[in-house]
Structure 1
């Protein structure tokens, strides 16, 4: 019973993260869509929402890499955990892009086209980093779920 409750709580947590990613994708898509007429489509907005949901679902809850086995000498001193780094930096980039987008929409700022492209690129790079981090961590554990 305890295991089922724990799994359900973890699933709800991950679903909440996915919803947060979808919300961030909505704001980035709305801002970029208002800046570029070619990107003012339902398909573009749905793609941004889906990418955000997948990225935040897979990339935020990364189990840390163990530095060494309890019975062995520490071997990985100074090594960087790629999944943890990609997750952290990707989350930062994606949420920064979402924050700037929300600020621009709420404050009705008319940002330069270059700023809107930077927001879109920052969002896409950040979410891609999250997805890669999630894939690395799940492959490392030997299963994808």
Structure 2
């Protein structure tokens, strides 16, 4: 019974992460769309929301390395460390995507009109961050 409850809780958590990613994508799309006329359409909004949902769904809750590939210190005292690439990609991607979304909300709420270069930087941060999350989640799930 408890495993069923845990599975349902995990699914709800992942759906919540996907919704947070979609909302973040919507904020970025709203700011970019108001600054760049060619991106003021529903397809762009939908694409940004789907990208955010996929990125946050796959990239935030990545499975850890298998126990055989742990980064523990060997008994002879030498350090054989290995970077967990999906974990690093997920962390940096989540930071970039969240920072971009946070910046967009701040710009929208404060009614600022940033230069097109800033808008482009925000958009690039969002796209790169979400792409890193998707790649991280895919790598982590394929190595199981």
Relative to the length of structure 2, the TM-score reads 0.91
Q: How many residues align?
A: 140
Match of 1:133 among 107, 129, 136: 136
Q: Which residue of 1 aligns with 2:94?
A: 91
* Structure 2 Cα separation of the partners of residues 76 and 6 of structure 1: 36
Alignment-derived partner of residue 3 in structure 1: 3
Q: Is the 8 A contact 1:28 1:98 kept in 2?
A: yes
Provide the alpha-carbon RMSD of the alignment.
2.0
Structure 2: runs of 5 or more not aligned:
none
Q: Tell me the residue number matched to 1:109.
A: 112
Q: Give the CA deviation at 1:64.
A: 2.1
TM-score, with structure 1 as normaliser: 0.90
Cα deviation 1:17-49 (Å, max 9, x = unaligned): 000000100000000000100000000000000
Deviations 1:112-143 (A, max 9, x none): 000000111100000000000000010011xx
Structure 1 residue runs of 4 or more that deviate by more than 3 Å after TM superposition: 66-70, 72-76
1:1-145 superposed matches below 5 A: 1-66=1-66, 68=68, 74=74, 77-141=80-144
Structure 1 unaligned blocks of 5 or more? none
Work out the CA distance in 2 between the residues paired with 1:125 and 1:73.
33
Name the CA distance, whole Å, in 2 between partners of 1:76 and 1:129: 28
Q: Per-residue CA shift, 1:44-69, capped at 9, x if unaligned?
A: 00000000001000000012224646
